[in-house]
Amino acid sequence: MTENFQYRLLARDGGARLGEIATPRGNIRTPAFMPVGTAATVKAMYPEQVRALGADVVLGNTYHLMLRPGAERVAALGGLHKFMNWPYPILTDSGGFQVMSLSKLRKLDENGVTFQSHIDGAKHVLTPERSMEIQRLLGADIQMQFDECVKLPCSPEEAERAMRLSLRWAERSRKAFGTQPGRACFGIVQGGASPDLRVESARALAGMGFDGMAIGGLAVGEPQDIMLAMIEAVMPHLPEDRPHYLMGVGSPDDLIESVARGIDMFDCVMPTRAGRHGLAYTRWGKVNLRNARHADDPRPLDANSSCPAARDYSRAYLHHLMRCEEILGMMLLTWVNLSYYQDLMAGMRTAIAEGRFDDFRRQTKEDWGRAGEAVGAS
Amino acid sequence: MTENFQYRLLARDGGARLGEIATPRGNIRTPAFMPVGTAATVKAMYPEQVRALGADVVLGNTYHLMLRPGAERVAALGGLHKFMNWPYPILTDSGGFQVMSLSKLRKLDENGVTFQSHIDGAKHVLTPERSMEIQRLLGADIQMQFDECVKLPCSPEEAERAMRLSLRWAERSRKAFGTQPGRACFGIVQGGASPDLRVESARALAGMGFDGMAIGGLAVGEPQDIMLAMIEAVMPHLPEDRPHYLMGVGSPDDLIESVARGIDMFDCVMPTRAGRHGLAYTRWGKVNLRNARHADDPRPLDANSSCPAARDYSRAYLHHLMRCEEILGMMLLTWVNLSYYQDLMAGMRTAIAEGRFDDFRRQTKEDWGRAGEAVGAS
């Protein structure tokens, strides 16, 4: 581990792990959910709110930030933390995933990826070295290796080719990261839906001295059981003394099932994106506020929530705001969802510490079935 | 005055008035600026924020609320205050202005206006009686007479016809309002750009027992000197013991010049709308954050502002957010602008109390010229 960056495993409950990542910018309690701050903002949230919900770390997207406002510009302005008024830990992805999903006219070769910006068509090149340089310029506390992420399903040959390329890029990324006191570099396990390829990837990465291990290329369209099978195949080969990060995941159910299998960190746009589209995550399950049946419903989403947005506004009002496409609707529902996600993580952490993770898992899932009941005031 | 609704004139400084309107939902310090909460939300702001900035009252739009979510629905849900989580005073307009500016296929006659919704084309009718019924259903603390507002410039004949119709509608509105303990009904002076018509309107309304007097039909495209001339013509004919409300105004300069002439209340979409479009109002004047010259500017909008949004974020970051059309950009700049507007009102109130309104006016306008200077840290 790099100086001042330290993972401590505090407790185990079955496969679930309770831990803590110490960084110079503060501790990250694990299992942790990282709100996604794509373009240097967790959409529709003030940074103070994100923090108050219990988020110890947010994610920034290298692809978006290199295009706008540009890594060199952020560095000149004092780094991403100062830029976005978030003095706590930041993890940046490598750009590998989004360059394949968002950009136009990609050309991929051994060296890296040449692509056109989805914003203005300008040509850019991302290589392992440039990705790590961008992440260093941004000042990310946790930096991710540059990888190639294939969509599932894909052929075994394609999965293998991308996995091996990602391993070669992992070595180049680790070398380019160098030594950055207090900062960490994570490797990314690839291998599509093949347990064998996944294991091979994990074993190879384990020897490269990464400060943490991520599992990438999942939650890209495959069923949950495939995702969980890949986690189970890989887990025995991940170093126990490093954090395990499942990238781009997921639904509340995905989070619980992945924690049960040893995952420590998550990021996902689901709570923020769903909130902007009128979908609320609550203890009692999902509620689609765009649905006309809420138009006259005076109940809040959850009268006993820790989040004012879930307590102080009726479903009728939230429905009205979404129908009128009011910004406040997106603000309130994003707040509700991030609050629920952070409460879920906190609940899992407490349950692991107290050795009752299975009970927590069962009870939480039972509660999700109660969205239709009159439980607002319960 | 209605029971529990009371205007008190506390001090005068030249033409400027310091006062207080007592209502069962709290006092309104005047001169007051009312943020506009068109569709039951001050756009891009949590209600707690609006309150914390010093707003004692917000405005709701009858036209928008009758279309969505509907006045009867709001009443069934417990009224507009509860619906929008704003327990403090609310003033509603009559719908007269917006039915003429927003709706389609209008037909105006003595009885009222028949129109098609700009949202779904559905046919609606607004009369003085229905407007007052809607405002009562919403539960507004201050309700406005139904009037006809003409665009300027218009012919003297057209201004006279609309003024006389508005007077007849004023009598019907006052009668329909009836007696509502703790609530008030205001009349609206019309008459276009004609001092004679304005005076006639004001005199006629003064005899109808309204709890406050508004000046309508200004800030609709005419130069500021016309607006100020109309205020000066009307002011001697407005009851001294009632609040004077200038509708739909205005820029910071409009506010200062109108207060100097005896206006007590304002509403305007300018600070909120401008914020959503990247324009910031500060002590040092207007700053257009969309301008590329801010891309590398590390300075906040106003390092000594009372508003975190003006202090804790660089102009470079705000520029970035606006370029990326991020919701947070609209949230921060709306916050900056409403903060500036409320600070400006508070500054005027203090200056009137201390008998130095003219000095305040001069100094404030001098400061506006300094936007281009390096005053962020001063």
The verdict on pTM exceeding 0.90 is: yes
Please name the residue of chain A whose CA is at the shortest distance from the CA of residue B272: A327
ipTM greater than 0.95, yes or no?
A: yes
Query: Average of pLDDT values for B51-74?
Result: 98
To the nearest 10°, report the CA torsion of B24, B30, B177, B104: -120
Q: Are B53 and B338 in contact (CB under 8 A)?
A: yes
Query: Average of pLDDT values for B213-238?
Result: 96
Has residue A373 got a pLDDT over 80?
no
Which residues lie across from B184 on neighbouring strands? B142
pLDDT of residue A372: 57
Q: What is the mean pLDDT of chain A?
A: 95
Angle between helices A156-177 and A195-206 in degrees, nearest 10: 10
- Per the CB < 8 Å rule, is B324 touching A295? no
Number of Cα atoms under 13 Å in the Cβ half of residue A246: 30
pLDDT of residue A1: 47
**Rounded CA gap, A252 and A341, in Å?**
7
SS3 assignment, position A335: helix
Has residue B151 got a pLDDT over 80?
yes
What is each CA distance from B161 to A279, A291, B9, B58, B194, in whole angstroms? 50, 46, 34, 31, 12
Query: Average of pLDDT values for B250-261?
Result: 98
pLDDT band at B3 (very low <50, low <70, confident <90, very high): low
pLDDT of residue B135: 98
pLDDT of residue A371: 66
What is each CA distance from B169 to A58, A254, B44, B134, in whole angstroms? 57, 62, 35, 15
Chain A residue set in contact with B, beta carbons under 8 Å: 39-41, 43-46, 48, 68-69, 73, 76-78, 83-85, 276, 295-296, 298, 308, 312-314, 316-317, 320-321, 323-324, 326-328, 330-331
Catalytic position from the list B13, B56, B211, B267: B267
Catalytic position from the list A13, A93, A141, A211: A93
User: Six-digit token pair at B120?
Assistant: 């779904």
pLDDT of residue A101: 86
Has residue A377 got a pLDDT over 70?
no
- Per the CB < 8 Å rule, is A69 touching B320? yes
The 8-class DSSP code of residue A324 comes to: T
pLDDT of residue A3: 60
Has residue A57 got a pLDDT over 50?
yes
Please name the residue of chain A whose CA is at the shortest distance from the CA of residue B331: A44
The position carrying tokens 């999903």 is A101
pLDDT of residue B1: 47
pLDDT of residue A85: 98
Tens-place pLDDT, residues B259-286: 999 999 999 999 999 999 999 999 999 9
Tens-place pLDDT, residues A293-315: 999 999 999 999 999 999 999 99
Has residue A376 got a pLDDT over 80?
no
- Per the CB < 8 Å rule, is A41 touching B326? yes
Has residue B163 got a pLDDT over 80?
yes
pLDDT band at B174 (very low <50, low <70, confident <90, very high): very high
Cβ within 8 Å of residue A18, ≥6 positions away: A9, A10, A11, A12, A30, A31, A349, A352, A353
A169 to chain B, closest Cα gap in Å: 31
User: Six-digit token pair at B280?
Assistant: 């910031």
Q: What is the CA radius of gyration of chain A?
A: 20
To the nearest 10°, report the CA torsion of B71, B22, B209, B167: -50
Number of Cα atoms under 13 Å in the Cβ half of residue A189: 34
Q: What is the C-alpha end-to-end distance of chain B, expressed in Å?
A: 47
DSSP code string of B107-128:
EE-SS-EEEE-TTT--EEEE-H
pLDDT of residue A378: 33
Cβ within 8 Å of residue B196, ≥6 positions away: none
pLDDT of residue B377: 36
- Per the CB < 8 Å rule, is A326 touching B69? no
Cβ-based neighbour number of residue B9 at 10 Å? 15
